[in-house]
Amino acid sequence: METGKVEANLGNLNREFNLPYIPDLIALKAAGTEKEKIKEINLEFHHQEYARLRERLVLAADNSHLPDAPSAKDALNDLLIRVRLNKS
C-alpha cells in the first residue's frame, strides 16, 4: 500500500522492511513439506509481531492514495476472457 506495487515474494519484500526473523521463517517453511506446520517457533513473539504489523497495515491503508475499490475490473475480465479463448 505504501508503494502501490504488489510484491508477493516474502524474501523480496523483506529487503525493504528488514525484519530479522523472516529469513529463518522462510528457511523453516522451505525445509518442511507442503502445508506442514512449523513446530520450532515462538508463538507469543509472532502473535505480537502479527498485531504490530497488522496495525502498520491499517495505518498504511488509511494513508494510502490507492482507490478503495479496483478500477480495472471490466478490463481485467475482458483480458481473462481473451486469454481463455486464446485470442490475446
Q: Note the pLDDT tens digit of each residue in 32-84.
A: 888 888 887 899 999 999 999 999 999 988 888 888 888 888 999 999 999 99
Q: How far apart are CA 8 and CA 25, in angstroms?
A: 16
Chain centre distance of CA 12 = 11
Residues in the chain: 88
Rounded to the nearest 10 degrees, what angle do helices 10-17 and 22-31 cross at?
A: 170
At residue 3, does pLDDT exceed 80? no
Q: How far apart are CA 56 and CA 10, in angstroms?
A: 17
SS3 per residue for 54-66: HHHHHHHHHHCCC
